[in-house]
Amino acid sequence: MTKLSPLQIERLKYQPKLPSSLQNGVNSLELVEGSATQSVRDQEQIKALFENTYGKPTVTFKSVSSSSTSEVRNVGVILSGGQAPGGHNVIAGLYDSLKNANPNNKLYGFLGGPSGIIEGKYVEFTDEFIDAYRNTGGFDIIGSGRTKLETEEQFQKSLAVCKNLNISAVVIIGGDDSNTNAALLAEWFVKNNAGIQVIGCPKTIDGDLKNEQIEISFGFDTATKTYAELIGNIQRDANSAKKYWHFIKIMGRSASHVALEAALQTQPNITLISEEVEAKKMSLSSIIDYMTDIIVRRSNNGKNFGIAVIPEGLIEFIPEMGSMISNLNDIMATLETDSSFVNASSVADKFAIVEGRLDSENAKVYSSLPALIKTQLLADRDPHGNVQVSKIETEKLLIEMITERLAQLKSEGKFSGKFSAQSHFFGYEGRCAFPSNFDADYCYSLGYNAFGLINFGLTGYLSSVRNLTAPADEWIAGGVPLTMMMNMEKRHGEMKPVIQKALVRLDGPVFKQLQDNREDWAMNDRYLFPGAVQYFGPSSVCDITTVTLQLERSKQLASV
């Protein structure tokens, strides 16, 4: 038997809290329907693609004194996409809910992500199996994967596997792309009278899967607290040594929620927000000017050190870089099969071929970049055919360009200080951390609630637990139709239905909190040191959620 750490032993004992509506089990629930819904955009196209599942109402649950009986159900569950803290608790909540409803119910876990349901690779969960993973991080209970569920062949194979196991419902735990797949699978099952329901659960540490019904995606709380601890540790070191600027890139490709939340928890000297860069049409040169100005002013005050937080996806939001990368994405599909490119004798030759294929302005941008960045831009594409921005060392690009700018200023007699930089990238460090108490409770509730949606025969829904800044027993459990969050976007050159990503709102209370304090934090060392994620102790320390959620909810409540 694997030896457990003392913390593991204690976390396995933790009993997650549930909303009061779910505490008596799903057999004591009443379903309350809201109004009919429509997609956030492109209503006619989305409705045409989801004829059988479009326009359904939102639903909430309330507990009733009577108790019904639940027929025997076999359910399958899939972990899809990147890891996020709390995924194991979603499965534990789902398992406890279905076993509480009827002890003869079975839960099957498909191995390795969506490919498991296609290939028929699975495991049946037991009490002993589940109990070993409660309140733990990671997705290692059954593994995850990024296989897409979108073709007729995949749907047919998934149906055959479900029929073989007598599965009548599938729960897909994932982010926006994974839940888009859940919506497609749900529609196909209904259209083909398969008799199999599909329910999604909102997962992504990026925080970009949210709306009025989904206040936060699970994993965001734990991941941002983990990153904030690391930033706080570096801030303490910087304030001690007083000789380094630390450039810290943080996970979050399409949205800057993680960087923004980590900044609010730690108060670094510089925080870049991708959405702001795009909205202000800031060039790479203007970003360098902004950062260099703060570095020089701090140096003039005798402070040749500081902290800069940079979102992972920044480079795509810089207008000239975004245009160049988009152009590059379009031509790379043909270059990868072009013998002159594939067999080029040197990297420089490859650069020349790329510059010859890019539009003239984009070629100039590409040519101006350091060789390291140009090479990284040619690396393997992601599953959507796009540049993998996590592999582009934006933090090193900024350091190199700021170093050149400072050298120029020094030659002009406008800078006499010192600049020595360290680079960091925080990504995988946060994806599999032990879930915070909030994520442990929230994830367990999402899973428990998911079987409630199944028990009422719903399909094409996302498990929703709201009112999350209140104590857990006041949380509101229910569901939101997946089609409600969808719009049409270009993927691989084709317009496809996808769940719309929620980006940082520059007119929202969270960004305003940064904006209002930016200059103060830049020049004065207002560093906060959050420390490790807390599991035991006073509620004011252990049960607090993110600054993001607190600010967003307080604004919503104020408007009621």
User: Which is it for strands 306-311 and 421-426: parallel, antiparallel or unpaired?
Assistant: unpaired
What DSSP assignment string belongs to 386-439? -B-GGGS-HHHHHHHHHHHHHHHHHHTTS--S---EEEEEESHHHHTSPPPHHH
453 Cβ neighbours under 8 A, 6+ residues apart = 59, 199, 461, 463, 479
Selection from 452, 454, 498, 493 nearest residue 476 by Cα? 452
Residue 249, SS3? strand
Exactly one of 96, 206, 221, 439 is catalytic; which is it? 206
Query: Are the C-beta atoms of residues 157 and 125 closer than 8 Å to each other?
Result: no
Sheet strand arrangement including 74-79:
29-36, 57-63, 476-481, 461-466, 197-202, 167-174, 74-79, 106-110, 122-124
338 is catalytic: no
Query: Are the C-beta atoms of residues 402 and 55 closer than 8 Å to each other?
Result: no
Phi first, then psi: what are they for 144, rounded to 5°? -130, 175
What's the token pair of residue 21?
């509506």
Question: How many residues comprise the chain?
Answer: 560
327 Cβ neighbours under 8 A, 6+ residues apart = 358, 359, 362
Helix (H) / strand (E) element for 304: namely: none
Residue 252, SS3? coil
User: Across 461-520, where does the E strand assignment appear?
Assistant: 461-466, 476-481, 486-491, 494-499
Indicate which residues carry an active-site annotation.
Answer: 206
